[in-house]
Structure 1
Amino acid sequence: MKELAQVVAVDGQRVTVSTQLKSACSGCEQNTTCGAGILSKVFSDRHSTFVVKTESPVAVGEYVELSIPEQQVTRFALLLYGLPVVTLLLFASVLTSLTAMTEGYIILLSFSGFAVSFVALRLWFRLRDVRVNQLLVVSTPAHPSP
Structure 2
Amino acid sequence: MKEVAEVTAVDGNRVTVTTQLKTACSGCAQVSNCGAGILSKVFADRNAQFTVVTEQTFSPGDQVQLEVPETAVTRFALLLYGLPILTLLLLAVLLENTGTLPEGFVILLSFAGFAFTFWGLKRWFRKRDIQVNAMVKLETVAAEVQH
TM-score by length of 1: 0.89
What is the letter of the counterpart of residue 131 of structure 1?
Answer: Q
What is the letter of the counterpart of residue 63 of structure 1?
Answer: Q
State the Cα distance separating 1:33 from its structure 2 match.
3.3
Q: Where does 1:1-146 land on structure 2 (aligned, <5 Å)?
A: 1-142=1-142, 143-145=144-146
What does the per-residue CA deviation read over 1:31-86, in whole Å, with 9 as the maximum and x for residues that have no partner?
A: 23334323323332221111111122222211111011111111111111111111
Q: Structure 2: 5+ residue runs without aligned partners? A: none
Could you say if the C-alpha distance between residues 107 and 33 of structure 1 is closer, same or farther in structure 2, counting changes exceeding 3 Å? closer
Could you say if the C-alpha distance between residues 74 and 37 of structure 1 is closer, same or farther in structure 2, counting changes exceeding 3 Å? same
State the Cα distance separating 1:12 from its structure 2 match.
1.9
Q: Distance in 2 between the 1:99 and 1:32 partners?
A: 49
What does the per-residue CA deviation read over 1:72-120, in whole Å, with 9 as the maximum and x for residues that have no partner?
A: 1111111111111111111122222234222222122111111111111
TM-score by length of 2: 0.89
* Percent identity of paired positions between Structure 1 and Structure 2: 57
What is the letter of the counterpart of residue 93 of structure 1?
Answer: V
What is the letter of the counterpart of residue 11 of structure 1?
Answer: D
Q: Distance in 2 between the 1:32 and 1:86 partners?
A: 35
The aligned length equals 146
State the Cα distance separating 1:128 from its structure 2 match.
1.3
What does the per-residue CA deviation read over 1:109-136, in whole Å, with 9 as the maximum and x for residues that have no partner?
A: 1111111111111111111112111111
